């Protein structure tokens, strides 16, 4: 294996880790090595079974990797959408890996952490927008703050540098990922259309009108690669979002047009209740349209959808710093959604 850029991908089987890993695999001069408790058997690049919660397992297995040059850290301790993630466990996982890397860090150049807008406390209270990277942390219950402090402390006096990306509501086209807002909304709209009902926004009028944003995962993968290699990014955090914040009230009419539906009036309802109530309807649709999957309650992570749509205020991040330092990619959010619906139709996931 060419060791010029041997890159550990912590959390390699998750949406972010797999996206960045595949991007690096396709780039000349990069050699990703995935780390996961249960490695993906058909991955196109090598995988190593590693439990980040087990300090000794980290020490034993990382000891043989003296040629590591880069680390992409996108690991999370298991949790369900909307649940509070374990701060203590997530910080310990990163610490275990850093401790193990200390013994083989002679060639280490850069460690990148994928975090998010929870750093700014967007789930806690309304804050001034757009969020700037040097804004004070707004949520000390999030493990992002402690992980960043840990990384800053461990980097002092070392030759390697670090960077952090802060995406929001990341989106991708994957048939095997339930935590996917495009798939979730596609399922929701398809069922309402089957029932002859208008496309109703399941939330409050305030959340319907609040500005929100998304991060297209291929863009995040390219941004992470940029941060790991550009000296301007050393020891810096960057917001990485599509760059065209908009409200659900701006998106929803496009969705209604796509599915050929009337636009309904927002109703304060939940995706979780909807999926439970219409499981049998979906089973019938699977047979009627020859779709690939049958269990509506597990096909999408419905609590995650309720969490995303529960925010009652603007969530907008500035991309000025990234642009100033050399990353200029932007994504048309409306097209991202509509092309996503096309994808899930082509895969026979939605009719």
Cα 67 to Cα 73: distance, rounded to the nearest angstrom: 17
Torsional class of 29: left (φ above 0), alpha (ψ -120 to 50), beta (otherwise): left
Q: Do 33 and 47 contact (CB within 8 A), yes or no?
A: yes
Q: Do domains 6-169+214-239 and 170-213+245-315+330-346 have the same CATH topology?
A: yes
CB atoms within 10 A of CB 66: 14
Q: Is the peptide bond before 294 cis (omega within 30 degrees of 0)?
A: no
Among the four given CATH numbers 3.20.20.70, 3.60.20.10, 3.40.50.720, 3.40.50.150, the one describing domain 6-169+214-239: 3.40.50.720
**pLDDT (0 to 100) of residue 1:** 41
**pLDDT (0 to 100) of residue 154:** 97
With a pLDDT cut of 90, the percent of the chain lying above it is: 89
Give pLDDT < 70 ranges for the chain: 1-3, 79-84
Name the architecture of domain 170-213+245-315+330-346: 3-Layer(aba) Sandwich (3.40)
Residue spans per domain, the chain: 6-169+214-239, 170-213+245-315+330-346
Q: What is the pTM of this model?
A: 0.95
Residue 75 phi, psi dihedral angles, 5° rounding: -80, 145
């Amino acid at each position: 294996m060419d060791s010029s850029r041997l890159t550990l991908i912590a959390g390699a089987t998750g949406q972010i880790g797999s996206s960045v890993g595949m991007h690096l695999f396709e780039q000349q001069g990069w050699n990703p090595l995935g780390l996961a408790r249960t490695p993906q058997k058909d991955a196109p690049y090598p995988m190593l079974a590693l439990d980040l919660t087990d300090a000794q397992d980290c020490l034993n297995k990382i000891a043989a990797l003296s040629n590591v040059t880069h680390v992409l850290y996108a690991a999370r301790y298991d949790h369900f959408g909307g649940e509070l993630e374990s701060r203590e466990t997530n910080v310990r996982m990163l610490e275990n890996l850093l401790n193990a890397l200390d013994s083989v860090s002679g060639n280490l150049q850069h460690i990148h952490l994928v975090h998010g807008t929870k750093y700014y406390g967007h789930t806690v209270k309304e804050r001034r927008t757009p969020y700037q990277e040097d804004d004070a942390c707004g949520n000390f219950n999030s493990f992002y703050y402690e992980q960043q402090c840990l990384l800053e402390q461990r980097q002092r006096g070392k030759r390697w540098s670090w960077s952090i990306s802060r995406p929001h509501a990341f989106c991708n086209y994957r048939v095997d990922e339930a935590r996917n807002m495009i798939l979730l909304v596609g399922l929701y709209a398809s069922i309402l259309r089957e029932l002859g009902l208008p496309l109703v926004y399941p939330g409050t009028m305030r959340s319907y009108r609040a500005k929100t944003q998304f991060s297209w995962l291929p863009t995040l993968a390219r941004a992470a690669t940029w941060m790991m290699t550009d000296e301007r990014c050393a020891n810096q955090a960057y917001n990485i979002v599509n760059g065209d914040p908009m409200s659900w009230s701006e998106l929803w009419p496009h969705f209604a047009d796509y599915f050929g539906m009337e636009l309904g009036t927002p109703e304060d309802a939940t995706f979780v209740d909807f999926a439970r109530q219409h499981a049998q309807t979906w089973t019938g649709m699977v047979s009627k349209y020859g779709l690939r999957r049958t269990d509506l309650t597990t096909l999408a992570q419905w609590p995650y959808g309720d969490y995303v749509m529960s925010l009652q205020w603007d969530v907008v991040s500035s991309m000025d710093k990234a642009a100033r330092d050399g990353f200029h990619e932007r994504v048309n959010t409306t097209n991202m959604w509509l092309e996503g619906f096309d994808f899930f139709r082509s895969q026979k996931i939605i009719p």
